[in-house]
Amino acid sequence: MEQGRAEPGQQAHCPWTPGFGVVIHRGRRSGREYQTPVNVFATEDGYVLALTYGPDTDWVKNVLAAGGCELRTRGRAIRLVSPHLFHDEVRRAIRPLERQVLRVLGVADFLSLKTAPAAPSTTGQP
């Protein structure tokens, strides 16, 4: 699933299916836009993404280099900033059921991102 290479139909359902989303990011060198399906977990101030293919994938490097990305999940587009890689064998940021699945899959690397503040209104209205 590197750089938008997903199974047929996966990108179509990911933005709508609970627990899944699509990260929109740009290549560090090419500037090309990519869409990568991910496992998504909401947090108090943003989202945690499970790095099922590890922290050394191009899409993770792109998001880190850009300082953020767009996430499409549950039918919404959300701007995310302040990416932070972390390793957690206990998987504290994940709900218990998904924690068990990620443990079986051997996933313990995550990327946390904060929801970007809303852009100020340009209409002159408060």
Q: Please check whether residue 73 lies inside any domain of the structure.
A: yes
Of the pLDDT bands very low, low, confident and very high (cuts 50, 70, 90), residue 124 is: low
Contact between 24 and 73 under an 8 Å Cβ cutoff? The reply is no
User: Considering the domain boundaries, does residue 122 fall inside one?
Assistant: no
**50-95 pLDDT, tens digit each:** 999 999 999 999 999 999 999 999 889 999 999 999 999 999 989 8
How many domains does the chain fold into?
A: 1
**C-alpha distance from residue 119 to each of 1, 78, 79, 115 (Å):** 31, 12, 10, 12
Asked, for residue 98, whether it belongs to a domain, the answer is yes
Confirm whether 65 is domain-assigned: yes
Q: Is residue 34 part of a domain?
A: yes
**What mean pLDDT comes out for the span 30-48?**
95
User: 68 near 82, Cβ under 8 Å?
Assistant: yes
Domain that holds residue 55: 2-115
pLDDT per residue over 7-20, tens digit each?
444 444 445 455 88
Q: What is the CATH number of the domain that holds 16?
A: 2.30.110.10
Of 84, 63, 80, which is closest to residue 116 (Cα–Cα)? 80
Residue 18 inside a domain? The answer is: yes
pLDDT of 125: 58
Confidence of residue 118 (pLDDT cuts 50, 70, 90): confident
Does residue 44 lie within any of the structural domains?
yes
